[in-house]
């Protein structure tokens, strides 16, 4: 089956032609469908479609076929059901973060799209709508025959300008062109907020916002919406991180409204790490949305004042909406296109995975500037340091999406004080990033390493 799937991707151009030919001819079968009756016709067509597409594409019968927009690679084979591009955890060899035995569906999709349209990277790719669970198992061919294939594409939401006086301090700093610094905190494993507030206090006066992770690594902690609201109540601008792993669109939209009502002004939309690496691997992952569809929904709530269902909100939230990017993992060729898609969907700031490789970042930024994306969203680059070369090597091997060049590992391993050398390398990286046109700031990360991170920021600022 896998070999046939790869064959289909390699022959995506020819298969797409067949599809276009079929979709033009198919409406001629409409009288036959009417004669048979829709229900009976679909019952006859469905097994044929399932068998054919199952054999050719390993199709999962979602009932909203998007193969012609995904290089003939079925995105429903992705364990996170990503319909709008790869997650940030693709392994360096192009295999899936969740299942190392399988090639990432989006590495395949990128290859197939290249066969269909060699110039595809120069154009923004369409936003695919979040999956409609009601269509599972239904025939998409039937809709093609009926002459109205349901369009799976979402138009971008037109933007509403928030008056300057209502902007939060983080957005104000970004808009003013300041080189911003954000830091990441994991909420505590505690019902007492003191631990969180003590850790946040170490960054007093040093950062423009504090990101609050949402079950990072698939591990359970205090909820990110509660931790964000606590920070806001104590005067810290928080970035509330929302993942699609644990909640469906109903719960997420409720949380977005709740966060806004509690004073949170910034959100970061992520797909989220898989549960398999966390402390509850037996949990069922949700992935009702992916990061792009979440961005689109959040933008619709803010700018159109409505839920994803179209129902109107009484008072819409007013949020500075962000997304993530990872320039350091495959499919490298499509990472900027994926970033563009997130910006089209509604992201106005971007925070990247750890940058330990300046050359890769410079290549990425070159293309970002060519497309003018640095003018449409603020690019904030992830940086960090760990206590030793061993810890850094462990992170590169075990944390999805982290790439550490050998030269950095050797530099730190060879130092007499590895912790200090790591800090020095981090400060050098931040200074080098600040010189790259289009980099709007840095996002400092490091699990439970607040003192060192605060020192790094103080060194850079001083």
Q: How far is the CB of 102 from ligand SF4 (least distance, A)?
A: 7
According to DSSP, the β-strands at 153-154 and 127-128 are: antiparallel
> Phi and psi at residue 289, in whole multiples of 5°?
-120, 165
| Element containing residue 296 per DSSP (H, E) | helix 291-299
DSSP E strands: which ranges in 125-262? 127-128, 153-154, 180-185, 209-212, 238-243
When the beta carbons of 2 and 22 are compared against ligand SF4, the nearer one is 2
When the beta carbons of 384 and 401 are compared against ligand SF4, the nearer one is 401
When the beta carbons of 100 and 176 are compared against ligand SF4, the nearer one is 100
- 354: three-class secondary structure by DSSP: strand
Residue 390 pairs in a beta bridge with none
SS (HEC) of 308-346 = CCCCECCCCCCCEEEEEECCCCCCHHHHHHHHHHHHHHC
When the beta carbons of 347 and 425 are compared against ligand SF4, the nearer one is 347
Q: Which two tokens stand for residue 373?
A: 């994306």
Q: How far is the CB of 94 from ligand SF4 (least distance, A)?
A: 9
Sign of CA dihedral 249, 82, 270, 266: negative
Measured CA to CA, the distance from residue 388 to residue 418 in angstroms comes to 5
When the beta carbons of 287 and 356 are compared against ligand SF4, the nearer one is 287
Percentages of the chain per state (helix, strand, coil), in multiples of 5: 50, 10, 40
Q: CA-based angle 434:439:442, to the nearest 5?
A: 70
Residues that bind ligand SF4 (CB under 6 A): 78-80, 82, 86-87, 89-90, 96-98, 104-106
When the beta carbons of 98 and 404 are compared against ligand SF4, the nearer one is 98
When the beta carbons of 65 and 96 are compared against ligand SF4, the nearer one is 96
Q: How far is the CB of 398 from ligand SF4 (least distance, A)?
A: 15
Q: How far is the CB of 326 from ligand SF4 (least distance, A)?
A: 10
Q: How far is the CB of 259 from ligand SF4 (least distance, A)?
A: 26
| 437 C-beta neighbours (distance < 10 Å), count | 9
When the beta carbons of 108 and 255 are compared against ligand SF4, the nearer one is 108
Measured CA to CA, the distance from residue 22 to residue 68 in angstroms comes to 13
Q: How far is the CB of 122 from ligand SF4 (least distance, A)?
A: 23
Q: How far is the CB of 210 from ligand SF4 (least distance, A)?
A: 27
Measured CA to CA, the distance from residue 429 to residue 96 in angstroms comes to 29
Measured CA to CA, the distance from residue 88 to residue 407 in angstroms comes to 23
Q: How far is the CB of 77 from ligand SF4 (least distance, A)?
A: 7
């Amino acid at each position: 089956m896998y070999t046939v799937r790869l064959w289909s991707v390699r022959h995506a151009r020819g298969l797409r032609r067949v599809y276009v030919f079929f979709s033009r001819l198919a409406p001629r079968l409409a009288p036959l469908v009417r004669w048979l009756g829709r229900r009976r016709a679909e019952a006859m067509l469905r097994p044929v479609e399932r068998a054919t597409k199952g054999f050719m594409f390993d199709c999962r019968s979602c009932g909203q076929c998007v193969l012609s927009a995904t290089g003939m690679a079925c995105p429903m084979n992705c364990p996170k059901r990503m319909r709008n591009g790869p997650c940030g955890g693709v392994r360096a060899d192009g295999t899936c973060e969740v299942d190392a035995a399988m090639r990432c569906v989006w590495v395949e999709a990128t290859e197939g799209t290249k066969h269909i349209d060699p110039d595809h990277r120069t154009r923004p790719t369409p936003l695919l709508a979040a999956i409609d669970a009601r269509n599972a198992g239904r025939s998409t061919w039937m809709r093609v025959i009926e002459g109205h294939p349901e369009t799976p594409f979402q138009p971008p939401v037109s933007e509403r300008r928030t008056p300057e006086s209502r902007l939060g301090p983080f957005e104000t700093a970004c808009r003013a062109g300041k080189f911003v610094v954000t830091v990441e905190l994991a909420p505590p494993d505690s019902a007492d907020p003191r631990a969180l507030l003590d850790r946040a206090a170490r960054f007093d006066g040093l950062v423009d916002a504090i990101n609050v992770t949402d079950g990072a690594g698939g591990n359970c902690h205090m909820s990110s919406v509660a931790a964000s609201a606590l920070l806001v109540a104590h005067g810290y601008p928080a970035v509330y991180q929302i993942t699609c792993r644990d909640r469906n669109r109903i719960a997420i939209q409720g949380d977005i409204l709740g966060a806004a009502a509690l004073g949170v002004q910034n959100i970061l939309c992520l797909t989220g790490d898989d549960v398999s690496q966390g402390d509850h691997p037996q949990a069922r992952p949700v992935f009702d949305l992916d990061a792009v569809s979440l961005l689109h929904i959040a933008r619709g709530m803010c700018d159109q004042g409505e839920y994803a269902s179209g129902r109107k909100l009484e008072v819409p939230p007013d949020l500075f909406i962000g997304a993530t990017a990872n320039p350091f993992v495959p499919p490298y060729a499509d990472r900027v296109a994926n970033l563009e898609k997130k910006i089209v969907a509604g992201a106005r700031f971007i925070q990247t995975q750890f940058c330990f490789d300046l050359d890769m970042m410079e290549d990425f930024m070159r293309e970002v500037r060519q497309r003018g994306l640095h003018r449409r969203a603020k690019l904030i680059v992830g940086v960090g340091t760990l206590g030793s070369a061993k810890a850094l090597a462990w992170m590169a091997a075990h944390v999805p999406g982290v790439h550490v060049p050998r030269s950095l590992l050797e530099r730190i391993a060879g130092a007499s004080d590895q912790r200090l050398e790591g800090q020095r390398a981090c400060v050098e990286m931040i200074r080098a990033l600040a010189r790259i046109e289009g980099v709007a700031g840095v996002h400092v990360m490091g699990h439970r390493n607040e003192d060192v991170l605060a020192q790094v920021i103080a060194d850079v600022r001083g």
